[in-house]
Amino acid sequence: MRNSSDEVLIAAALSAREKAYAPYSHYSVGAAVRTRSGRVYTGCNIENASYGATVCAERVALWKAISEGEREFDTLVVVTSNGGSPCGLCRQVIAEFAPDMRIIIADTRGNARETTIRALLPERFRPEDVVGDPS
């Protein structure tokens, strides 16, 4: 259920989207993540001619927060022109750092839907799945 603080987060993601560097795909993405402490971190997609070096908005926002010592997350908003969902790589990063976080996916016309990483990536690779070979 969206509330006024979600609207502020959506506005922050829309603003971050305006800073996107997307000369190849022309698909600008903005993200905003709110931590449990109440701080908001934003990110935009940053493309590179070497496509593998491109970084998505969701990861930029999360990594900014993590680099500042945040480890508990409340809500992530992703805004694209058409309400596109986070890519698989972003889903895995979200699952690692914020498996219980709310995710709001919005478009630039004000439409939004709420989901979770468990819905987007039900068979995620979890930190506890990283085990050494017992033999």
Active site residues: 58
Would you list the DSSP string of 48-71?
-SSGGG-B-HHHHHHHHHHHTT--
Contact call for residues 29 and 57 (beta carbons, < 8 A): yes
Q: Where in 36-101 does DSSP place strands (E)?
A: 40-44, 73-80
Written as six digits, the tokens of 71 are 């480890």
CA R_g for the chain: 15
